[in-house]
Amino acid sequence: MIETRDLWLRFGPVAAVRGLSFRAEPGGWTALIGPNGAGKTSALRALAGLAGYEGEVLLGGRDVRRLGRRAVARLVAFVPQKPETPAALTVAEYVLLGRTPHISYLGGEGRSDREAAARALRRLELERFAGRPLGSLSGGELQRAVLARALAQEAPVLLLDEPTTALDLGRQQLVLELVDGLRRDGLTVVTTMHDLTLAGQYAERLILLDEGSVVAEGTAAEVLSAPNVAAHYGANVRVVEDEAGVFVFPVRTR
């Protein structure tokens, strides 16, 4: 559904992304992993049409540059790492703003928009929060509201930048399970992720970036090796693999 071909992203003389090519299909979850500054967020922003790039980004086989801004927004929903969540907006109002690409520039929401927002609220079990201001929600509830806003966009591609930042362990699993549910509904999910164990458990494909280049790509078992993590994160880790998945533990060196 979403595909990049030789994607380059430059900030002046510095290339943040160097020749990224990948293809993500409906019902699939691709995780971009890599150390800080590897270019994960830059790549995701390019996919969302928020950053200028060289190369190609294709949506359903069509060049994004030939599509209008609104057309792209109907195909790709993007959630930044730290979304702005105006404290006084209610959850319902916030989720309704996700309908913007379906509403004419100066128009207002129609019935179909309210229904889509209601579906998104139900899908993320936020019905009873609909009238609550965003400022009164806990971190986990807020992240669900953010997902609901992206879901209300009804775009087939969902891009999430670090969806579990600042959440506790339980909330991380909850949010990732919800995202996985959306993936099973048929969305194409692309996320950046810091936690390698979680990345390996939820994404069926990992792309390891370092200094903008793809240095490893494949399943968790293929990518998350101790030498790979040591070489690209500068981290000393023990990798344990069993039937439940691949686990990456940091180990202190003395």
Partner 1 sequence: MEATPRVEARGVGLRAGLATTAFLVAALAVGLAVGPVHIGVGSILRSALSYVPVLHVHQPLGAVDHAVLWQLRAPRVALAALVGGMLAVAGASYQGIFRNPLCDPYLLGVAGGAGLGATLAIVYAEAATTGGSWTVPLAAFAGAIAAVIVTYALGRSVGVSHMTGALVLAGVTMATFTAAVQTFVQQQHTQQLQSVYSWLLGGFSTATWHDVAICAPYVAASSLVLVLHRRVLDVLSLGDDEAASLGVDVNRTRLVIVVAATLGTAAAVSVSGLIAFVGIIVPHTIRLLVSTSYRAVIPLSLLAGAGFLVLTDVVARTVLSPEELPIGVVTAFLGAPFFAIVLRSSRTLR
Examine residue 124 and tell whether it contacts partner 1 (CB under 8 A): no
Angle at CA of residue 29, ends 28 and 33, nearest 5°? 150
- Residue 249, both tokens: 């533990």
Examine residue 66 and tell whether it contacts partner 1 (CB under 8 A): no
Q: Which residues pair with 188 in a beta bridge?
A: 157
Examine residue 178 and tell whether it contacts partner 1 (CB under 8 A): no
Examine residue 138 and tell whether it contacts partner 1 (CB under 8 A): no
Question: Beta-carbon neighbour count of residue 143 at 10 Å?
Answer: 26
Phi then psi dihedrals of residue 64, to 5 deg: -55, -35
What whole-number distance in Å separates Cα of residue 246 and Cα of residue 60? 32
228 to 1, 53, 69, 207, 234: CA distances (angstroms):
29, 28, 38, 12, 9
Which of 122/238 has CB closer to partner 1?
Answer: 122
Examine residue 246 and tell whether it contacts partner 1 (CB under 8 A): no
Closest separation between CB of residue 227 and partner 1, Å?
36
Which listed range, 14-22, 28-36, 100-108, 173-181, lies at the site for partner 1 (CB under 8 A)? 100-108
- Site residues, partner 1 (CB under 8 A): 45, 48-50, 69-74, 76-78, 80, 83-84, 86-90, 92-93, 95-98, 100-101, 103, 105-109, 114-115, 117-118, 121-122, 126-128, 130-131, 133, 135-136, 153
